[in-house]
Amino acid sequence: MVLVIAMAIILIPSDFDQNKPSPFKSEGMDWDMPDTNRIPSTPEGKLVRYGMDLIAHTSVYFGPKGKIAAISNGMNCQNCHLAAGTKFLGNNYSAVFSTYPKFRARSGSIETIYKRINDCIERSLNGTSLDSNSNEMKAIYAYIKWLGKNVPAKAKPAGAGIEDIPLMNRPADPIAGKTIFTYKCQRCHGTNGEGLMNESGNEYTYPPLWGEHSYNTGAGLYRISRFAGYVKNNMPLVTSADNRPLTEEEAWDVAAFVNSQPRPQKKYPGDWPDIASKPFDHPFGPYADNFTEAEHKYGPFAAIKKDGNKKR
Using the minimum distance from each CB to ligand HEC, give the nearer residue, 109 or 292: 109
What is the SS3 assignment for 110?
strand
Q: Which of residues 42-81 bind ligand HEC (CB under 6 A)?
A: 58, 75-81
Would you give the end-to-end CA distance of the chain in angstroms? 35
Is residue 28 a contact partner of residue 155, using CB atoms and an 8 Å limit? no
Using the minimum distance from each CB to ligand HEC, give the nearer residue, 189 or 296: 189
User: Under 8 Å CB-to-CB from 15, ≥6 apart: which residues?
Assistant: none
What is the contact mask toward ligand HEC in residues 77 to 106, using x (rule: CB under 6 A)?
Answer: xxxxxx--------x-x-xx----------
Can you tell me the distance from the alpha carbon of 227 to that of 253, in angstroms, rounded to the nearest whole number? 10
Cα–Cα nearest to 171, from 283, 23, 21: 283
Using the minimum distance from each CB to ligand HEC, give the nearer residue, 124 or 309: 124
User: Under 8 Å CB-to-CB from 92, ≥6 apart: which residues?
Assistant: 31, 81, 82, 83, 85, 86, 159, 160, 161
Alpha-carbon 203 to chain mean position: 19
Using the minimum distance from each CB to ligand HEC, give the nearer residue, 39 or 95: 95
Q: Which of residues 106-125 bind ligand HEC (CB under 6 A)?
A: 116-117, 120-121, 124-125
Q: Which of residues 138-197 bind ligand HEC (CB under 6 A)?
A: 140, 160-162, 180, 184-185, 187-189
Among 207, 213, 224, 259, binds ligand HEC (CB under 6 A): 207
- Contact residues for ligand HEC, defined by CB under 6 A: 58, 75-82, 91, 93, 95-96, 116-117, 120-121, 124-125, 140, 160-162, 180, 184-185, 187-189, 206-209, 215, 219-221, 226-227, 230-231, 235-238, 246, 254
